Chain A
Amino acid sequence: MRVSVWKGVAEGSFREFDVPRQASQTVLDVVTYIQRSLDPTLAYRYACRVGMCGSCAMTVNGVPRWTCRTHVDKVVRNDALQVGPLKNLPVIRDLVTDMREFFDKWARAKGQFKGARTKHDDFQPVKPSSLERVQVDAAIECIGCGVCYAACDVVAWNPDYLGPAALNRAWTLVKDVRDEDKGERLRAVAGDAGCHSCHTHMSCTERCPKHLSPTAGIAGLKREVFKAVVKGEL
């Protein structure tokens, strides 16, 4: 199999390698083979290898994917693969992107939980069957891999846009009955940089490796922001 891999920073080029095919081979296996056997200078990032940590996302044949759970069989075309860094993020080197802006936007979307209780108080139970909890059952499973951010057209066009992952995080907290920062969070996610800039292209939902729907969360945020405006809370 011919594998072209991005080598360089913003300036660079794809370099071709011949990699033997294996049964149940993942794209991460391919990249690891190249680094260990063909080009030890290749920079890439991974940690858990089992789809939990969100470290290994890359662009595979033009599509952002988690490489540890992407089987070569499913993505290879004409016995060839192209592997590059995630789009919409600065490249540090080769396949490694700088995730700072991605996570800074989580902070800007008020992605931090702010509870009212202290360690001296009892736990505040959240009923699994409650509407608020059911609405974010899927969304809380985000692993922060950046695939949705790389797939998002609005992020590419408007660098201020918070992006699907940060807004998804905000949505989980807006629906968290224990959280005390709802008003500030809605203010943070409203407007040109926030949920109202989403064009509902649904690329994030299409590409999310966990099959979450940030689009649904963003639509939920639009509803919550609208309610807050009507009530004069925003």
Chain B
Amino acid sequence: MTSRTQTLLWVAQRTSAAVLAICVTLHLATIIYAVQGGLTAAEILARTRGNATWLAFYVLFVLAVAVHAPIGLRAIAIEWLGWRGRSRDVALALFAAVLAWTGMRAAIGVFA
């Protein structure tokens, strides 16, 4: 992997971290606000179903996680396991795909 690619991965991780800072804050604030008087699954779905704004928000959230987590694990793989090279990068690309797929299913699940 070239220096340029490694630099771009670093940029992607920092950018996704900035997105996550906003998304996590909004997500937690919404939960705390919404459950004040108790909340059921039906009530959650009533708010999210057909709401394109929430769908867009959670799609962005999921994509940021799918970018951020594998790049962070890449550094941990080097530093804790000494795992480098192509096998690590392929495994982490698959992990990113799993995160994106399962996250998207959840986001679409509460929308559709």
For the residues of A in contact with B, the DSSP-based class is helix
Segment of A4-12, A142-150, A191-199 in the binding face: A191-199
Instruction: Report B-chain residues with C-beta under 8 Å of the C-beta of A89.
Output: none
Q: Give Cα distance in the complex from A234 to B75, angstroms.
A: 22
Contact with A along B1-20 (1 / 0, CB 8 A): 11110111011000000000
Asked if A229 lies at the interface with its beta carbon under 8 angstroms from chain B, I say yes
A187 at interface (Cβ–Cβ under 8 A)? yes
- A112 contact set on B, CB distance < 8 A: none
Interface centre among A154, A187, A190 (most CB of B within 10 A): A190
- A190 B7 Cβ-Cβ under 8 A: yes
> Does B80 sit within 8 A of A, measured CB to CB?
yes
Evaluate contact between B11 and A190: CB separation under 8 angstroms.
Answer: no
B79 interface contact, C-beta 8 A: yes
Q: How many A-B residue pairs have CB under 8 A?
A: 39
Q: Is the CB of A154 within 8 A of B7?
A: no
Please tell me if B46 contacts chain A, counting CB pairs below 8 Å. Answer: no
* A interface size (C-beta, 8 A): 16
Instruction: From A158, A187, A222, A225, give the contact of B78 (CB < 8 A).
Output: A158
How far is the CB of A155 from the nearest CB of chain B, in Å? 10
Q: Which residues of A contact B3 (CB under 8 A)?
A: 187-188, 190-191, 194, 225, 234
- A123 interface residue per 8 A CB criterion: no
Nearest CB in chain A to that of B4: its residue = A234
A234 proximity list for chain B (CB < 8 A)? 3-4, 7
